[in-house]
Amino acid sequence: MAVRIGDSEEDSIVAEINITPLTDIFLVLLIIFMISSSAMLEGGLNVKLPSAKSSAVAQNSAGNPIYVTINKEGQILVDKETTDEKSLSQSIKAALAKSSEKIVVIRGDESIFLGKAVKIMDAARDAGAEKIAIATQPSK
């Protein structure tokens, strides 16, 4: 928007910048960033969680739980870092050392065998986990 100042014969123009649209854009970008960053915390693997009719929601106020993820191919991740069954206990122990709460959440694809989940629970207990949870999705 240009404004003419004074009655001088020279046409002096003062340019004004309207920052309202810029503020709107920055607020929209902030909202998009907040939504996408919370989705990134979930994990790196595409895992189809088993469904359950009833579940207890783990409330965690002081820190973040350690996520152990197993996909349908049997690949194991401890907080987004790939590991194998032999070094699983050491990986969980290292992750628990960085966390203020000793909670391990197992995110396993619904097609994995129960034996693999039990091995992860044993490794988590050996590593010093105080609580172990299994992630599910609500049944339809």
Over residues 88-107, the pLDDT tens digits come to: 889 888 988 888 888 888 88
User: Is pTM, for the whole model, over 0.85?
Assistant: no
User: Contact, 54 vs 138, CB < 8 A?
Assistant: no
pLDDT band at 24 (very low <50, low <70, confident <90, very high): very high
Q: Which residues of 58-72 are buried (b: 16+ CB within 10 A; e: fewer)?
A: eeeeeeebbbbbbbe
Radius of gyration of the chain (CA): 26
pLDDT score recorded for residue 38: 64
Q: Looking at per-residue confidence, does 19 or 137 come out higher?
A: 19
130 contacts: CB under 8 Å, gap ≥ 6: 101, 102, 103
Domains of the chain: 2-40 (no CATH), 51-138 (3.30.420.270)
Q: Looking at per-residue confidence, does 28 or 102 come out higher?
A: 28
User: Contact, 110 vs 48, CB < 8 A?
Assistant: yes
Q: Is the pLDDT of residue 125 over 90?
A: no
